[in-house]
Amino acid sequence: MTPTPDAMSPVSRTALSVARVRAYESGRPDPLFVDPYAAEFAVAAGMPTEVPENTRLSGLAAGLVLHIRLRTRFYDDRLTAAGAEQVVLLAAGLDTRAYRLDWPAGTRLWELDLPPVLAFKEQVLDSAGAMPRCERDVLAGDLLDPGWPRRLVAAGFDPQRPTVWLAEGLVVYLSAEQAAGLLTAVGSLSAPGSRLLMERGRDVSLTPQDPALAHVIALWQGGLGPDTDKWLDAHGWQTRTTSLAEAADTLGRPLPDGVGRTSGFIEAVRTTAR
């Protein structure tokens, strides 16, 4: 039976909306990035591949669309610049960086996510004839299962070597306890010099109400909230935060007034041994 998005959890299905935004950005005349497979996911899921311009979206929706565009390019740049031979994408969803980025020779990349997500993803990529640009390993499982670090090591991951971890669009869907457990596990696998990329925490109770996005907002638990960077600093990491406005200015896409002013990205470097 051909895998379909119907088997995905509500959180996992948000990856389809993200792919749709990436498809739209890829089709612009001045794209921040080009994801040649994003539209393939949308089509396979029966979704339109166009996203209305921000002026036709509500304030919150416009902010989320712009956030996805900017964070994709921001993480693209940081991942390739890090030069680590090990890369782990946590809750990888429909991420295709293994196929579209120019990785240094010798890079090995692991993608972790739930089985229905990866089954749908593999079917679409295989149909498109996609070929990875690095050594790519797919590990199906639940990041809330405490056994995932052991399974990652069994799959060839070496915790003695520096790693770049990406937790893109993930932690906001976790409770504070779940987020702390996940990040503690990541720390236990991170040699000094490892890097962790993720979004700045937010107080989800302050999220404006938007009926069009109620089904997404209802899934947000907030993770460690606005003190995410402080938590990391206290648990063996040294953090640096880049605001969404700073990233937007650097990439030549200044933010509209009132959009995404509290959003941003954390880059954390592991400073202590496990």
pLDDT the model gives residue 258: 64
Question: How high is the pLDDT of residue 54?
Answer: 45
Residue 94, domain member (yes or no)? yes
Stretches where the chain sits below pLDDT 70 are 1-2, 49-59, 258-261, 274
Full residue range of the structural domain in which residue 153 is found: 58-270
Pairing mode, strands 108-113 and 135-140:
parallel
In a domain, 11, yes or no: no
3-state secondary structure the chain: CCCCHHHCCHHHHHHHHHHHHHHHHHCCCCCCCCCCCHHHHHHHCCCCCCCCCHHHCCHHHHHHHHHHHHHHHHHHHHHHHHCCCEEEEECCCCCCHHHHCCCCCCCEEEEEECHHHHHHHHHHHHHCCCCCCCEEEEEECCCCCCCHHHHHHHCCCCCCCCEEEEECCCHHHCCHHHHHHHHHHHHHCCCCCCEEEEECCCCHHHCCCCHHHHHHHCCCCCCCHHHHHHHHHCCCEEEEEEEHHHHHHHCCCCCCCCCCCCCEEEEEEECCCC
Q: How many domains does the chain have?
A: 1
The verdict on residue 124 lying in a domain is: yes
> How high is the pLDDT of residue 256?
77
- Tell the residue number behind the tokens 């921040």, with chain if given: 32
Q: What is the CATH number of the domain that holds 128?
A: 3.40.50.150
Q: Is residue 46 part of a domain?
A: no
What is the predicted pLDDT for the residue at 200?
92
Residue 16 lies in a domain: no
Q: What is the pLDDT of residues 12-55, one digit of tens each?
A: 989 999 999 999 999 999 999 999 999 999 999 888 766 555 44
